[in-house]
Amino acid sequence: MISEFCIRRPVATLLMSFALVLGGLFAYKFLPVAALPSAEFPVVNVSASLPGASPETMATSVATPLIKQFATIAGIDSISTTNSLGQTSIAIQFVLNRDIDAAAADVQAAIARTQKSLPSQMTAPPRYRKVNPADAPILLMSLVSDTVPLTDLDAFAENVISPPLS
């Protein structure tokens, strides 16, 4: 039915196509576009320390039991671990539709369940915090002067440098 109309009236078809393209170009101007779109990535970072432990010890005796317990949490997208001298850091990224507060509560419960299997020499239990990678700063700047007072540098940064960057 539509194809028959388009074949019989090619000029009308061409005008309708042109109107659709023109309408699309007009609507394109009103699309909301942001340089840094607002996105909430549900990520929980867990950090633990065992003074003097090698990275291998941190991986086997601290990170592995924690990761095994975290793997039982629903809605995990990925887990990445970094081990260094006396420190381990675990980043748990959840699927986008997962509530970050519920995810943090699940991580806290998993840490509590793992506490018995962690080394007794740990000075403190593993700590966790909710993180949104999109909130990371895109520019860090420092002003240093041997002659200008700190209050003047602060005022300069607030009044001269900051407004054009905002």
| Burial classification of residue 115, based on how many CB atoms lie within 10 Å of its CB (0-12 exposed, 13-18 middle, 19 or more buried) | middle
The domain 43-135 having CATH identifier 3.30.70.1430: the answer here is yes
Angle at 106 between CA 104 and CA 109, to 5 degrees: 110
pLDDT at 36 over 70: no
Q: What is the pLDDT of residue 140?
A: 82
Helices marked H in the chain: 2-8, 10-28, 55-57, 64-70, 100-114, 150-156, 162-165
The Cα diameter of the chain in Å comes to 86
SS3 content of the chain, % helix, strand, coil (to 5): 50, 15, 35
- Digit-coded pLDDT (tens) for 98-157: 888 999 999 999 999 999 999 989 989 999 999 877 677 778 888 888 999 989 989 998
| In contact, 144 and 154? CB cutoff 8 Å | no
Q: What is the pLDDT of residue 37?
A: 64
Task: Tell me the pTM.
Answer: 0.62
Those residues whose C-beta lies under 8 Å from the C-beta of residue 53, and which sit 6 or more positions away, are 61, 62, 85, 86, 119
Q: What is the pLDDT of residue 30?
A: 87
CA 162 – CA 137 distance, rounded (Å): 14
Q: For residue 71, what are the CA distances in angstroms to 59, 77, 125? A: 16, 10, 19
Out of 88-97, 103-112, 156-165, least confident range: 156-165
